[in-house]
Structure 1
Amino acid sequence: MARTREFDTEAAVSRAMELFWSRGYEATSVRDLTQHLGIGQGSLYAAFGDKDGLYQAALEHYRSTLAAEALDTLRSGADARSAIRTMLVERVRLAVADAGRGCLAVNAACERLPSDAATRRTVRDMQDASRDALAEVLRIAVERGELTSEQDPDTLAAFLVTFLNGLLVSSKITPDARALEPLVEVALAALR
């Protein structure tokens, strides 16, 4: 008779996400995970396969929660500049929290690529979703007359995602929102 799982896997994934986010993949051992989650090693392997399986689940959780919130913020803005500013500033503030833990997706890209194809796919999907959401906001802004149509919305969106990635890496080096937030205004100057 198979034993029933004695822990909440969703809560475990959320807690693992926090641990991976603050420490990184390589610096987080299976022992660290089992202690932090309050589960046995056998339970971790039964539920997630291995450390990498739990890491992939943590990245997916990040994508469906925090990354999704950023896209919702972007889509709910009154005007394009304000919506993009709010999204970028919120991402900076989240990244500088906890002594500059950065962004889990960007951290994953810096730490795990190019050798980890699953992480590459997940991070690329998050990047693509951000770029697509930004392009949609920019196209609507052009239709409303908020922006001129002289620049391609897809190219501008790709620039903003690239800028955000760099900003999030910088947040690990300089975990100070007051130092990083003025850079958002420089990026917004590209929106005409």
Structure 2
Amino acid sequence: MNISANYFHMCWLEDESSFYEIEPYQKKAIVSIQRIKVFGESRYMRVKVRIHEDRTHFDLNVRLVRQLGSNHLVMNVKVRVRPDGRAEFVRLFELKRINFCGFLSEYNASPMLRMLFKKTVILSDIIECPIRVGNYSMLNADMAENISPDGVQNGTYNFFTEIVEESGEIAKVFAMQITSIVHIIEPPENDE
């Protein structure tokens, strides 16, 4: 069996003393967060983000200083990719005008939805509308767990989400853009 050096390199432990085991014939997505930009409307919140040293996890902390009402908050989500060797980003998908408070209600009422998100995200509190003054955290969000290697190509990915107040004095309440590099590791070829 011929296994490439890159395959072994990805399997090497940080202390470089041994290999860890991964299933030998399984595709794997290797994700590296390049940067995260966050915006929080200063009249409503203070936001901080921290990328972990492994570059696959991050923490988001929001200190809400003014209550966000339940009326007219919408969420927009967009994902774009610039495949390796290409100069421009292309849109993968876009969701517009999701009722944010409706999404929170669905999340809080659905054990299945909470289980899916808690697999990769630890929320400090259940968030409900109206969103009250206080501290909210999303800890240890794992980018790699959210990417399936099937149907994904090597390249730079931009994930963008924003919460907008449609009928208020401010337009954008919160925005976050995560730029990541994704590299798919193919299983080794069998030379038998």
Range into which the TM-score falls when normalised by the shorter chain:
under 0.3
- Report the TM-score when normalising by structure 2: 0.22
Larger radius of gyration between Structure 1 and Structure 2: 2
